[in-house]
Amino acid sequence: MDIRRWFIVVCSLVVLLVATSGFGVASATESPLEKAMSDTLDTWRDGRYEQLFEQLAHRGKTSREAFVKKMQESTIRPACCWQKIENFRVLSEKRTEATVYAKIGLEGAANSGSSTTREFRMTHEGGGWKMQLADVTSIAGTTGKKKGGAKRNSKDSSPYLTVPN
């Protein structure tokens, strides 16, 4: 075998090894936590709320029906593609619990192109990582808390304290 053929064979093998090793593939570096969060956000974006309910942890007293109804009423949903999750970092990871930090892109909010950047708790159950239901409903604006707070009695409406003479 002459030197040119030998060089071509070696170069071909190197190219083949690099191509099959996963260099440059984004999903190869994606952690199981980031993948779980991404999959959950995709389910939410697609409007598959019953499936989303099953993908979430710590559902508490919230029924599937109540959750689906709240999510259907919300206009907020995760953004698509590269805007969905940015700056993802694992802050702490234990066997059954983790805290991650991420910027989640949102659509349908009052100011378009908005996002939320914060910490998220995730729980490992059922063989995989799950986001918290409270985090999703908070982002969607469906926490159920009334805006404006409790009304005061007219006697107590003054923010100033009156002291008798």
Residue 164 covered by a domain: no
pLDDT at 36: 97
pLDDT at 127: 93
pLDDT at 113: 64
Residue 36 covered by a domain: yes
Residue 95 covered by a domain: yes
Residue 113 covered by a domain: yes
| CB 122, CB 98: distance < 8 Å | yes
The count of other CB atoms within 10 Å of the CB of residue 41 is 24
pLDDT at 160: 40
Residue 45 covered by a domain: yes
Residue 51 covered by a domain: yes
pLDDT at 2: 79
Residue 18 covered by a domain: no
pLDDT at 5: 77
Each of the 165 residues of the chain gets a pLDDT tens digit; together they read 578 776 777 667 666 665 555 444 444 578 999 999 999 999 999 999 999 999 999 878 899 999 999 999 999 999 999 999 999 999 999 999 999 999 999 998 665 568 999 999 999 999 999 999 999 999 998 875 544 443 334 444 444 433 444
Q: In angstroms, rounded to a whole number, what is the distance separating the alpha carbons of residues 165 and 153?
A: 24
Which structural domain, as residue segments, surrounds residue 57? 26-142
Residue 101 covered by a domain: yes
pLDDT at 26: 46
CATH number of the domain encompassing residue 65 = 3.10.450.100
Q: How far lies 99's CA from each of 37, 57, 89, 130, in Å?
A: 12, 14, 9, 11
C-alpha neighbours within 13 Å on the C-beta side of residue 9: 6
φ/ψ of 66, rounded to 5, equals -65, -40
**Domain tally for the chain?**
1
